[in-house]
Amino acid sequence: MTTTSVADNIRALSAAQKSRAGAPLYSRLVNRPVGRVLAAIAHRLGMTPDQVTCLSGLCTAAGILLIALWRPTVVAAVATSLLLMLGYALDSADGQLARLRHGGSKAGEWLDHVADAVKLATIHGAVAVGLYRFSGLPDTLLLVPLAFGAVQNVHFFSYILTYQLRYHGGTPLARDEGRAGMLKSVLSVPTDYGLLCLVLATRFTPVVFVWVYGLMLVGYGAYVLLALPKWYLEMRRL
């Protein structure tokens, strides 16, 4: 346990935030601030970034398993979503904790990205299993989570590659982005994992859930179709 107070840790993190450019609204307005508090608490407790990553992975894995295994009553759906949101906040906290400790490690970055890859490779499969077991809806609707999983994985891996090439493995710190930065955040709303966690809370009403989830998929697909050629042209200019 460190002697630095949680409040001091939060103030230090506020001065060393990643750039918010293009970060979806939930991530920008909710997840990073919550992650900042969790990082400050973790630092106070003497935890390492890798330990926070593992705790995030455990929360997320439990939430994903419950999507597939627990009948989605109101309590079950909300509790599962809260567990996923906690895992997401801890996913933000591990990187912030690394900055608070004056730098992370390649192994820590690897662990963080692998945890994200496992999460995105399994969560929509769990949604498909849950719909099949509990919703009573036509089996053809199982194509929606399968398509969502494909689109989200294409976005995640292409974005990570673009980010690494753009910043040469580094991380840009916060800057004043003005209206342009907020506009990007609004336009990227369909890609927001935090929004997905909120949408999953509606699984106790399968018809409503599939409609909202499906609309999010359409928006996500449109975003990716526009982003890929933009990123390609950007790479050609590097």
pTM for the predicted model, two decimal places: 0.87
Q: Is residue 1 part of a domain?
A: no
Q: Which residue has the higher pLDDT, 10 or 191?
A: 191
Percent of the chain whose pLDDT exceeds 90? 63
User: How many structural domains is the chain composed of?
Assistant: 1
What average pLDDT does the structure give for the chain?
87
In terms of Cβ atoms closer than 10 Å to its own Cβ (0-12, 13-18, 19+), residue 106 is: exposed
> CATH no. for residue 11?
1.20.120.1760
CB within 8 A of 89, min separation 6: which ones? 31, 34, 35, 38
Q: Is residue 24 part of a domain?
A: yes
Q: Is residue 35 part of a domain?
A: yes
Give yes or no for residue 14 having a pLDDT over 70. Answer: no
Phi, psi angle pair for 2, to nearest 5°: -90, 165
Q: Is residue 112 part of a domain?
A: yes
Q: Is residue 63 part of a domain?
A: yes
Range of the domain at 118: 6-237
**212: confidence class by pLDDT, cuts 50, 70, 90:** very high
Q: Is residue 197 part of a domain?
A: yes
pLDDT at 176: 46
